[in-house]
Amino acid sequence: MALCEQAGIDQSKINEGDLGFKIGPRLNAAGRLTHAKSALELLTTRSSDKAKQIAAELNGLNAERQQTTRQIFDEADSSAKQYRKDPILVLHNPGWSHGVVGIVASRLAEKWHKPVILLQELPSKLKGSARSYGSFSIVDAIRNCGDILESYGGHAFAAGLQLKPELLKEFRYRINQYAVQNMEPTNNLKVLEVGLSLPANLNSIELFEAINSLAPFGNENQRPVCSAIFNIEEIRMVGADASHLRLKLSDDTGGIHEAIGFGMANKYDWLEAGMQAEFAYSISENIWNNARKHQIEIIEIRKSE
């Protein structure tokens, strides 16, 4: 209850998105930046006052984690340009917290369309996280270098590892040689399956409610992906750091649709007001001033043929 209050969640309408993107990150923030014991204490306390106090602390830590994530992303993205030709990006910095590098590695992998390994430089070791892209197994690539690593573990899409600083150059060379020899052209492709190709004017709060009757959504029950062609009326960058893309769209009948692309502010620099584009999206709900409206949640955009 205390976390919901901090996250602005209506408990009567809580869903899997709230758990994954609002509750989870606040609980995880403690372990990423300080120590996970405060999250454990929150879940076990019988005092509502104590719960509110800890939830407020976790909320503050999560805000700090978000700021740290943005800073590390910018630094790592700049560093990635030096190794842009490598099939696997191996990046390092003494200022990068190993509790956050996994999040950043995921975002960089999405931007660069290739696996990413981010390492924090500690006094006697490098410690960090790896994230894959497409169908390439990052843990197999790391395992191939296991003889020069202090430790490692994970699965095809994510892993953790430690190594001595003096072995970094050899590690970068060997893991990229492995990728050259074993990475297929299709490994770095992501297939987006569109389940509903819709006339644009069918999007509505009623459609959202119909689709949402199939919830809860997750890995074994993915939220349906829709596609439609819209006219772009307005383009804005929103959010505290202007990292989200907000569009006003229209359909051929004159209907207006609000669209949001989280973290997509710089992804589609070719978009212009007045043009048409094809959208892959999920349909979600936006509540503002107690008014419910449907919202286009952007997954991908491509130029309309």
Residue owning tokens 């119909």: 210
Amino acid sitting at position 165: P
**To the nearest whole number, what is the mean pLDDT of the chain?**
92
DSSP 72-135: HHHHHHHHHGGGTTSSSEEEEETT--TTTHHHHHHHHHHHHTS-EEEEEE-SS-EEEEEE--TT
pLDDT for position 222: 87
pLDDT for position 42: 97
pLDDT for position 63: 93
The sign of the torsion formed by the CA atoms of 137, 139, 143, 148 equals positive
Q: Is 290 helix (H, G, I), strand (E, B) or coil?
A: coil
pLDDT for position 266: 80
pLDDT for position 23: 96
How far apart CA 103 and CA 96 sit, in angstroms, is: 12
How far apart CA 83 and CA 80 sit, in angstroms, is: 5
pLDDT for position 148: 97
Question: What CA–CA distances, in Å, run from 209 to 164, 225, 262?
Answer: 53, 15, 22
DSSP 192-207: ----EE--GGG-SHHH
How far apart CA 299 and CA 289 sit, in angstroms, is: 26
pLDDT for position 74: 93
How far apart CA 135 and CA 150 sit, in angstroms, is: 26
Mean pLDDT per 10-residue interval, the chain, length 305 residues: 94 89 94 93 97 97 92 95 96 92 94 95 94 94 97 96 97 97 79 82 92 89 92 92 91 93 87 94 87 92 85
| Alpha helices in 114-246, H assignment, sequence order | 138-143, 168-182, 205-212
How far apart CA 159 and CA 128 sit, in angstroms, is: 9
pLDDT for position 108: 95
Domains of the chain, first to last: 1-76 (no CATH), 84-188 (3.10.310.30), 196-303 (2.40.50.460)
pLDDT for position 196: 80
Cβ contacts of 9-16, under 8 Å, gap ≥ 24: 15/215, 15/216, 16/215, 16/216, 16/217, 16/218
Phi-psi sector, 3: left (phi>0), alpha (psi -120 to 50), beta: alpha
pTM of the model: 0.78
Residue 189 has what DSSP assignment? -
